[in-house]
Structure 1
Amino acid sequence: MQTFINDDFLLSNDYAKELYHQYAKNLPIIDYHNHLPPSEIDSNRKFKNISEIWLEGDHYKWRLLRANGIEEKFITGQATAKEKFMKWAQTVPNTIGNPLYHWTHLELLRYFEIDELLNEESAKRIWDTANERLQDESMHAQNLLIKSKVEFVGTTDDPTDDLSFHESIRNSNFPIMVAPSFRPDKALDIQSKFFNDWLTKLEEVTGTNVDKYNSFLEALSQRIEYFNEHGCRASDHGINVMFYEEGSENEVADIYEKSRRGCTLTEKDVKQFKTYTLQFLAEKYYEKNWAMQFHLGPLRNNNTKMYKEIGADSGFDSIGDQLLADPLSKFLDSLEKNNILPKTILYCLNPRDNYILATMAGNFQDSSIPGKVQFGTAWWYNDHIDGVTNQMSILSNVGLIKHFIGMLTDSRSFLSFSRHEYFRRILCNILGQWIEKGTIPPDIPLLGRYVKDISYFNAKRYFDI
């Protein structure tokens, strides 16, 4: 059966259609936050089959496979690539209402030119056709980025990563900018049993003894310089529970040294360490003109049994419900008072917090750049039609959507850039519906500028690309 995805998919009236086709459709992509492996871009990875490019590391699909009663061996286990694909094909017809139903068929159509619904009956044909097309050089990793009109890729990298793949890409003739993003979660995770192990890695890459807190900060500064030399435009912080606890450098140094000796830390100790260290990092980001991203509110590794079996980031995270507004306000204000607040993007996983972040962003704007503090795009469990619509509607209600920096993939897949198309169609449909309701004028040139800025130009300016 032919798919439901046509030229006017998700566009419910003529205004939306005109805005999408005339202003959004052909724009390049700035994907400023994703988890693509830079090694695979550098090596121009060739994928053997559609399971490799589609199912590896995709916890979105893994969760739906489990919800469909599929055994773990067909998800993260030892089943063959074809067996895993067949289980996904069996699951897809049951995903109606989930964005993966749309994404699956968008990706089949845009990258494989397969205009057919995926199900058990079509699975063998689609497996054969997709695998045949994957053999073509145009389906190798670098060419997929070019095919998607990607202009900038912001990967996610630990401070101890050597960035050799980024350097190799930069020194090649590859026309797309692939920049690292500084993700120092492990540097803040002082309560983790793995903290000292990570510090050993930091010592190795910096040639620094970090037994003392000031030398730890110097080592982080050194890595920030290194990332900046490799084109870094942003940091990124995964924050399960937002924190704020004031402390002096001497107090935090004592806490750090207690941790190095293996002493037990109090909750206050942990918050003081995280607050002071993140303030230090934020000042460095400000100096480099980096954007600081906060991904706020997941509740991670809920299934202890499966965490022990297959580890983190495997599809067992969900939405947390810790209070956010007060510690976030105090932290951002502590930076603003000292004139060191960098460009900042705030993403929340709990949609309950959408108005909190949208209004929080408005507290800390200034004249340095329009939309300096951003209410970030709908993230993770919110990047579906309702979530994307809700995020932009709330931003419009309490801020200026005109300066919104738009979509990102937050993905490990080279096929996920169709999500930018998905986002742009939703954006144009929102504006088209507002025209139809009579709440905004039918000024297509004006709204076309909105579409172009939100889809591409705002992010290009924001990240200085």
Structure 2
Amino acid sequence: MPQTLSLHPDRLFPADPDTRAVARRLYAEIKDLPIVSPHGHTDPSWFAQNEPWKNPAQLLITPDHYVFRMLYSQGVALEDLGVPRADGGPVETDPRTIWRRFAERYHLFRGTPSRIWHDWVYAEVFGLDVRLSAETADQYYDVIDGALKTDAFRPRALFERYNIEVIATTESPLDDLRDHRTIRDSRWSGKVITAYRPDPVMDPDFEGFHANLARFGELTGEDVSTWTGYLAAHRKRRAFFAEHGATSTDHGHPTAFTADLSQAEAAALYQRVAAGTVSPADAELFRGQMLTEMARMSLDDGLVMQIHPGSFRNHNGTVFARFGRDKGADIPTRTEYVSALKPLLDAVGSEPGLTIILFTLDETAYSRELAPLAGHYPALRLGPPWWFHDSPEGMRRFREQITETAGFYNTVGFNDDTRAFLSIPARHDVARRIDTGFLARLVVEHRIEEDEAHQLSRALTYDLVKAAYRL
């Protein structure tokens, strides 16, 4: 007999009745505020073409590394989930079969944020009232598949239905941004902007780096064999991205290391990098120098800078060779910030007109390093719990460890950082519930007054993200 699926109205709120009552009041005032999604990896072609998703598997399984990394860990081959192979080799193409494999193993997600997000989507978006299981797999598939064939479930309609005010995608500097032009030229009211992610031409260890450099030069008309030409190419592409709505850059480096070499030293380093004779030490030095160069450019053009360090990308070499990047095999590493960021902060950290948003996958750095840094330097803000810590527990740990030193106003609200479109409203709802629960605890402990908590709940939901990302 299928089990009932229902979303409890008090889910994620504190268990203590007095605290829960305050959380309810706070949440009621902010739950319907517009969604501002300033950083993520949704596909802009969804909104440019506004074509229906083909089937439930394409919408909810195949693009979501949170889903297939868990299934892979339990022995399910990525081919069996329809994940495309780098060599174009055979993979499962029957979406109902993929869906059944997922449904049979849905119990694996118990206690995870993925379970929270998916249950929200099933109940709130598709109106399902029984739990997903092997027994209900076909019922789910038929309901979702039928809905996706209607205009009400096209990307733009869902964007409007869930009150998304703005969403930022993330593109390579080699992207022509044609989808963003299509969106703009369509005169649709939805706001979809891009963000400048220069890793393919800034990280000497990025696959195809030298071919990417050549293409970078072709796109910009600059001589990227020289240091000055290379920097000029970045300035041109940043301006091009800004013309297409970008208000931010994003940098996914292995570490938070920065450098501030003389221009002669930087030029000599770049010659080694461009020639392909770079050592691992030089590659790290170049990435560090470029973070400082990007910060200086942000002073000039106003783009907000995001640094997402500390992931050992593509840790599973077999998966990387077979399927390419971003297939659930990125693993957090220990990340040091105090010494690593000092060259950059010496150069620009006291600039109040600059915003650098720091993220971490190393929670041990919250209270020891990140909160004290953001609690001092005018240029620094702390990004929300990211990736592996985008969870109820991760959000609570973040607030508990950083608030005493950095406060609330040196943070930037919430961003979902997702590739799975329908998880956006689900994730934002989780963040709103956890933040109001945290604020409610401060109220009942008589650390802030309830009127202050109402102001803060709106700030954490809406005001801070708009201000930080200059939206």
Say whether the fold is shared (TM-score over 0.5): yes
- 5+ long unaligned stretches in structure 1: 366-371
Q: 1:231 aligns with which of 228, 245, 256?
A: 245
- Answering whether residue 426 of structure 2 is matched by residue 426 of structure 1, we say no
Q: Deviations over 1:256-284 (max 9, x none)?
A: 22333332x23443344333333222112
User: In the alignment, what sits opposite 2:40?
Assistant: 34
- The 8 Å contact of residues 190 and 270 in structure 1, kept in 2 or not, is answered as yes
User: In the alignment, what sits opposite 1:47?
Assistant: 53
- The 8 Å contact of residues 23 and 439 in structure 2, kept in 1 or not, is answered as yes
- 5+ long unaligned stretches in structure 2: 15-19, 85-90
2:118 is paired with a residue whose SS is helix
Provide the C-alpha distance between the structure 1 equivalents of 2:289 and 2:409, rounded to a whole number of angstroms: 34
| Regions of 4+ moved over 4 Å | none
1:74 is paired with a residue whose SS is helix
Q: 2:296 aligns with which of 257, 265, 283?
A: 283
Q: Deviations over 1:102-156 (max 9, x none)?
A: 1110111121121221111111111111111111111111111111110011110
Q: Any residues of structure 2 matched to 1:112-261 within 5 Å, and which? A: 112-192=126-206, 194-261=208-275
Over 3 Å counting, the alpha-carbon distance change for 1:446 and 1:225 in structure 2 is same
- The 8 Å contact of residues 440 and 453 in structure 2, kept in 1 or not, is answered as no
Matched letter for residue 232 of structure 2: E
The Cα of 1:209 is off from its aligned counterpart by 2.8
Q: 1:344 aligns with which of 345, 352, 356?
A: 356
Over 3 Å counting, the alpha-carbon distance change for 1:456 and 1:101 in structure 2 is same
User: In the alignment, what sits opposite 1:454?
Assistant: 460
User: In the alignment, what sits opposite 1:310?
Assistant: 323
Provide the C-alpha distance between the structure 2 equivalents of 1:236 and 1:211, rounded to a whole number of angstroms: 24
- The 8 Å contact of residues 249 and 276 in structure 1, kept in 2 or not, is answered as no
1:413 is paired with a residue whose SS is coil
Provide the C-alpha distance between the structure 2 equivalents of 1:208 and 1:330, rounded to a whole number of angstroms: 28
User: In the alignment, what sits opposite 2:403?
Assistant: 396
Provide the C-alpha distance between the structure 1 equivalents of 2:281 and 2:338, rounded to a whole number of angstroms: 19
Matched letter for residue 359 of structure 2: Y
TM-score by length of 2: 0.92
User: In the alignment, what sits opposite 1:67?
Assistant: 73
Q: Any residues of structure 2 matched to 1:431-450 within 5 Å, and which? A: 431-436=439-444, 438-441=445-448, 443-450=449-456
- The 8 Å contact of residues 239 and 295 in structure 1, kept in 2 or not, is answered as yes
Provide the C-alpha distance between the structure 1 equivalents of 2:255 and 2:410, rounded to a whole number of angstroms: 28
1:153 is paired with a residue whose SS is strand
TM-score by length of 1: 0.93
Provide the C-alpha distance between the structure 2 equivalents of 1:402 and 1:255, rounded to a whole number of angstroms: 38
- The 8 Å contact of residues 252 and 272 in structure 1, kept in 2 or not, is answered as no
Q: Deviations over 1:48-75 (max 9, x none)?
A: 2111111122111011112233233322
Over 3 Å counting, the alpha-carbon distance change for 1:253 and 1:275 in structure 2 is same
